[in-house]
Chain A
Amino acid sequence: MSELDPIAVEVVTERLIAVVREMRATMIRAAYSVTITEMKDFSCALFDGEGRLVAQSREDLPVHVVPMPWTVEAILETYDGDVHPGDVFLMNDAYRGGTHLNDVTMLYPIFEDGAAVFFAANRSHWDDVGGMAPGSMSGLATEILQEGVRIPPIRIHERGVPNRAALDLLFNNMRVPENRKGDFRAMLSTCRVAERRVREILDRHRLETVVACVDRDVERTESRTRERIRALPDGTYHAEDYLEFYHDGVFDPVLLRLALTVENDTVRIDFSGSSEQVAGVVNASLAVSAAGAVIALKAFLDPEDPINQGIFAPLAFTAAPGTVVNATPPVPCGAHAEIRRRTITLTAAALAAALPERMAGDMQGTSNHTLIGGVDDRTGRNYVFYEVPVGGSGGFAEHDGSSVFGTVDWADNQPILPVEAIETHFPLEVVREEIRADSCGHGRRRGGLGLRLEIRSLGRRATFSLVSDRAIVPPFGVLGGASGAPNAYAIRSGNGEIAALATPGKASGVPLSRDDVVVAHTAGGGGYGAPREREPELVAADVADGFLSVAVARDVYGVVVSDAGDLDAGATETLRTAARPDWRELAVVGEDESCVGDLGRHRMFRVHPRTAAERDLRDDDLVEALGDVPVPLRGWVRADGEMPTDSVSLDSWGQRQLRVAEGSPVRLRLLRRRDVQDPPLAGGPPPET
């Protein structure tokens, strides 16, 4: 049997994947921090001598692995021709292929015949990398220096000798350095395991054979990807969404735009029209923005296999430097996960126009990075508690979304920490952890429900920080499905008073006194299809489970159910027949530009004041417009006497995204109404506690 037959390719590919699996097993056993061992917030991968991604396991997180090629490129560019046996590289630079500063990447060359033929890579979330608040992630940071130590590509071991100066400098600028050191050593262990195993593979196969197999594996991934793209209708698909940013305490959302062009067997993704970068956390590198798009494309086109470099070849990305999707110094990059989630759903939303049956309602759109830190009075030591409470996944044609479930860019990492681990390791008490009723995006197939988590701080003093999103603009439903409830955090003081965050979704170092409770409500997934098309029996079952209230069953689903969940079929029939749609149909009037903003940008839907009054629309109402595609377009209402009656303004981007023309109808649906005392745009009730 000649070496490069299809079997040899499989065997070598499988052996390389096994190397990564073994790295992963080693990390879980050897790491220190709860974030790695319980939450499994780390990933391993193998790159070839040219820096191409050649193997991930079936467990490593896409969020880490997909942006890694950019990271490796940055390191190899820096040390071009200067890589030696025994060298180990380290980096977390968010502008150069990193994600956020907490994700630290180690790259470890493996040599054969004097050349680096493979690189073992490990990206692990370090609980703290310094910065303004414990845990380093800080919702109100305004420059990256507040988010911790930025490590450019550095040689942390040189020809086998650790660079003590650099290590000391790093660890001295991080909280709980003993955990950081332990995790660093564990990362090193995984790379050494990889080196041993790769060497065994090279004992069995000649290097040229291995290289040829890797080439073949990458090529076939590329050709498979191209084949799937070719099956899509050529054309350009548009999608826009927001990230939540506060400017001097004022809500000033930033705009993310994506135009996806399918041309023959290639996909071009153009982020032009996205906001300029801002002095807030909602910026990310192109590695992160593009990774989101790749994850969505993979999910739509080729979900079966682990990823390798081949998927990237047919794809091209465009983003102007200095925008929120391609950040340059000195802006913070803490909300990388939020940008990635948004580019995932923007890409999915664009593809949904071509493949509506593959689409699901939106996910929660954030990692809800929740951090509590301080001094543990029992030990006198610093602690950093970090959790990423998840919400519901979106409903889809075949099934409801799942409640409290990892998002599509995650893997076997466990975002829900055991209560008993939290209470053992930290001066915290979990008061409640339950499914958040009525939080799903309602629909024929409803989204999954969010979580209601309450954590009491037991120490004398602590601080709370949060990087979240989708706290104002909720996860969208598709094909008429409703939005999921937004993420909502509040602090309940020891005397029972509840304070919502002044800047929903974002907090930095909020002081906690003894017995203060952090109340986290995570978002529900978006619904799929109209709620009134849901089978009444399923609605009744949700009421019986306490997942839906009787009122929501009646008002949203048009289903009459008793408290116990007994269905009244007759009354339901009557109610559903009499029901009026919850949207307002208006005719499109074109305009040059619908978006305004201070540092950010957001879309305004202008309507005539009389039309607004007739249709119960008020200034600053957050609404969504439904057109001829599965995904809605979001914006805020502005009454404008210049507008013709019974119509709504929509610029050319909006028309292209919704696939509607001047004069054709769109439907507006109210998402959120501002109370009088709320700041502009950011209204809405505090969490229901």
Chain B
Amino acid sequence: MDRNSFSVGVDVGGTFTDVVLFDRAERRALVAKVPSDPRNQSVAFMNALAKVGADPGKVERVLHGTTVATNAILEGKGGRVALLTTEGFRDIIEIGRGERTKLYDLKLVKPPPLIPRPDRFEVAERTHADGAIGRAVDADGLRAALASCDPASYDAWAVCFLHAYANPANEEAARDTLAEMAGGVPISTSSSVAPEYREYERFSTTVLNAAVAPAMDRYLGSVEDRLSDGGHARPMLVMQSSGGVMTARAARRLPAATILSGPAGGVAGARAIARDAGMANVITCDMGGTSTDVALIEGGEIRHTTEGRIAGYPTRIPQVDIVTVGAGGGSIASVSGETLRVGPESAGARPGPACYGLGGEAPTVTDANLLLNRLDAGDPLSGEITLHPGLAEAAIGRLKASLPGLDTMALAEGIVHLATVKMAGTIREVSVYRGHDPRDFVLLAYGGAGPMFASELASELGMTSVLIPPHPGNLSALGLLLSPLKRDFVRTMVRRLSDMEASELTAVHAELRAGGVGEFEADRLPVADLEFERSVDVRYVGQSSTLNLKCATDSPDPATLAAEFHAAHEAAFGHSDADEPVELVNARISAALPVDPLDIGCEAPAGGSATPRETRSVRFRGRTVDCPVHARRHLPRGSEIRGPAIVGETGSVTVVWPSDVLRVDPRGNLRLEVGRK
């Protein structure tokens, strides 16, 4: 293989590690899966490279989606972290906001604090809301405050002061003194990890970052060592929750930015495919075994948010605005009283649905799909798992006793339908949060189970257009190759727009931009090609939520911003008031090195007609119909199929409903025109 013509993306998932090797010269993507090794992700990583024959020394770019940080948090296996915080506030991370996650439960308990109380230390200091320093950090005072501990005995430190987003000086001073005391122990400051207001959320993010820093450092170190042993001399790139990649060096300092590394890769891939297909407004739906991730692409851009949550703890780092529903192929159907439920319990990957024959007895959505014949009993799942219709039928049959009057098939169809309705409820909520009507969007479905549900889900939402990309089971890995190098920078400054000069925004944006350039320079990356995107978060004075407005220049006119805000508020919520004062909350800059668009191509033949490989009886809305079954790799580009039909491929199945029309576009995407069910 020739140097500089290959890129490789490796995405580690719970069950499989996906790899895509792209040959730019040949415009060919080679896709493969290897089993993941949860104890040592780097083994699967190197196995994946080997499986596609990628020689580290000859690959131009290595891109990586990792779950090291995510798993460390979910499994409570982060490092031992100490907290240094403002005097009087060491319990903020335990107090939280006091909300309950479940109704009517006398026995509900809070998630445990991220750091036990004896490891939380206080220092007398104060920064005010406007950034003024009320009391500076006194180095001797800090040493005295930490006299009772050995700072070097912790795996990491989090320094979290009130209002540090408005002025990081006190945090930085404390960090410097602490660094002298703690030796090489990594220190995360809240002003560098998540410089936004709301202390609990910012502190939580910072502590999570500190907790996973040691594991991330070890892991990335080991992978980079293996790569450089193989002759790879360039920095490895790691997928961030925001849908851009960053260097491994940056990821070691900001591991909390990788919490959504895998799902964000999928959305980044979806965006590239949607752009390529000329679609500006897309809802992505990544459905796997246990959950479904939904995100919004608007005007060709991924919607972002800083409001995340993991294991019950909030995070405030820019991320793709993904909402996860606890519904997937593995969701368990049950009857309580006379009520049929689907989820939230899941059979997971082990034992999995009853039809896997791995010991699972609970009926799942996948079992229902198998009974309806939408899944092929003769075709092992992902080539690995043999399906047993008898076990599925028995499992669903057991529910029948509690729901008289329904036969097994009607029940199976009901389970799939109910799972779809629940998912649709979440999608609708996601879109309305942003003031959008899902009917103006295309549904882009991927993940193992996404294409199976896509048509029914679209109907439920009133959407008429669905796109299934090539390799829908591997889109997260593919997305790695299609993502820009990107870093986000933010500064909170709460100011009324009417009191502001354009020059103030110019100054802040310039400062943020300089910081961005510095970050890329430190990674020895070409800063001349950097593209900056500026935006501001704005609201009515008195409101708490903000709307994000893009700025065309570094110096947007405050009056123009106010006018844009009134219009955006009207569009989102149906009302606005031009007489109400408007205030700025955050200035943001996102710096990106764009990637060349890749023509990832596909296996679809260039011409010919679609010939089904067999015909199967499949049930749709109570009627069983003869349904042609196609192999996707034999569906020619430009061909058209009228539903009903089933299109199978490795790792996924697309269901075409009786009134749908499916076309294969020039890129090999499946485009569904969804009819009324």
Contact = CB atoms under 8 A, between A and B. Distances in A.
Interface string A189-212: 100110001001000000000000
B103 A411 contact: yes
Contacts of A192: 574
B543 A406 contact: no
Given A18-B429, A220-B339, A432 B199 contact: no
Interface string B325-350: 00000000000111110000000000
Nearest to B134: A429
Give the interface centre of B97, B128, B494 by most chain A CB atoms within 10 Å: B97
Given A421-B198, A451-B95, A545-B117, A434 B432 contact: no
Interface stretch (B72-80, B371-379, B380-388, B414-422): B414-422
Leading 9 A-B pairs by shortest Cβ distance: A7-B414, A37-B544, A18-B425, A432-B88, A414-B97, A30-B573, A402-B110, A545-B117, A1-B622
Interface string A220-233: 10011001000000
Interface string A1-39: 100011100110011011001100110111111100110
B110 A405 contact: yes
A544 interface: yes
A5 B410 contact: yes
Interface stretch (A87-95, A271-279, A298-306, A482-490): A298-306
B413 A14 contact: no
Contact of A25 (B107, B432, B621): B432
Contact of B405 (A5, A21, A398): A5
Given A25-B433, A416-B95, A298 B104 contact: yes
A431 B86 CA distance: 10
What secondary structure prevails in chain B residues at the interface with A? loop
Interface stretch (A68-76, A148-156, A177-185, A628-636): A177-185
Given A1-B410, A37-B545, A405-B100, 4 more contacts: A182-B543, A299-B105, A406-B98, A408-B105
A26 B432 contact: yes
Nearest to A545: B117
B203 to A, nearest CB: 10
A299 B104 contact: yes
Contacts of A666: none
Contacts of B129: 420, 423-424
A362 to B, nearest CB: 11
B104 to A, nearest CB: 4
Number of chain A interface residues as a range: 35 or more
A86 to B, nearest CB: 16
B462 interface: yes
B104 A22 contact: no
Contact of B118 (A15, A295, A545): A545
A247 interface: no
Interface of A: 1, 5-7, 10-11, 14-15, 17-18, 21-22, 25-26, 28-34, 37-38, 40, 58-59, 62, 178-179, 182, 185-186, 188-189, 192-193, 197, 200, 220, 223-224, 227, 295, 298-300, 303-307, 348, 358-360, 390, 393-394, 396, 398-406, 408, 410-416, 418-421, 423-425, 431-435, 451, 454, 544-547, 565
A487 to B, nearest CB: 15
A546 B113 CA distance: 14
Contacts of B109: 393, 399-402
B199 A418 contact: yes
B107 A415 contact: no
A411 B444 CA distance: 34
Contacts of A299: 104-106
A14 B200 contact: no
A403 B95 CA distance: 7
Given A390-B98, A411-B99, A419 B421 contact: no
Contacts of A32: 540, 542-543
Given A304-B336, A434-B89, A178 B97 contact: no
Contacts of B462: 200
A492 B104 CA distance: 38
Contacts of B542: 32-33, 178-179, 182, 425
Contacts of B92: 419, 433
B575 interface: yes
Contact of A414 (B99, B117, B429): B99
A413 B99 contact: yes
Interface string B379-412: 0000000000000000000000001011000110
A303 B198 CA distance: 32
A399 B109 CA distance: 8
A178 B581 CA distance: 11
Contact of B621 (A1, A220, A451, A547): A1
B6 interface: no
B201 to A, nearest CB: 8
A127 to B, nearest CB: 10
A58 B101 CA distance: 9
B118 A544 contact: yes
A416 B104 contact: no
A408 B90 contact: no
Contacts of B96: 404, 416
Nearest to A224: B337
Given A6-B338, A21-B425, A22-B429, A303 B104 contact: yes
B338 A419 contact: no
A518 to B, nearest CB: 15
B515 interface: no
A287 to B, nearest CB: 18
A263 B111 CA distance: 39
Given A1-B622, A25-B433, A192-B574, A295 B89 contact: no
Given A32-B542, A435-B95, A418 B197 contact: yes
A385 to B, nearest CB: 13
B97 A30 contact: no
A189 B90 contact: no
Contacts of B100: 405-406, 408, 410-412
Nearest to A399: B109
Contacts of A421: 197-198, 544
Contacts of B162: 419-420, 423
B523 interface: no
B428 interface: yes
A38 B129 CA distance: 17
A29 B89 CA distance: 29
B580 interface: yes
B512 to A, nearest CB: 20
B271 interface: no
Given A405-B100, A412-B99, A416-B98, A15 B336 contact: no
A1 B199 CA distance: 53
A412 B88 contact: no
A18 B428 contact: yes
A358 B544 CA distance: 39
B527 interface: no
Contacts of B107: 360, 396, 398-399
Nearest to B201: A418
Looking at A33, A410, A418, the one whose CB has the most chain B CB atoms below 10 A away is: A418
B463 interface: no
A389 to B, nearest CB: 8
A638 B45 CA distance: 78
A627 B528 CA distance: 81
Question: Which of A192, A304, A413 gathers the greatest number of chain B CB atoms within 10 Å?
Answer: A304
Contacts of A18: 421, 424-425, 428-429
B94 interface: yes
24 contacts: A1-B410, A6-B338, A6-B403, A7-B340, A15-B421, A22-B428, A26-B432, A29-B435, A31-B544, A34-B544, A37-B544, A197-B428, A305-B339, A390-B98, A402-B110, A403-B110, A413-B99, A414-B99, A416-B97, A420-B129, A423-B162, A431-B88, A433-B95, A547-B117
Contacts of A403: 94-95, 110
A434 B429 contact: no
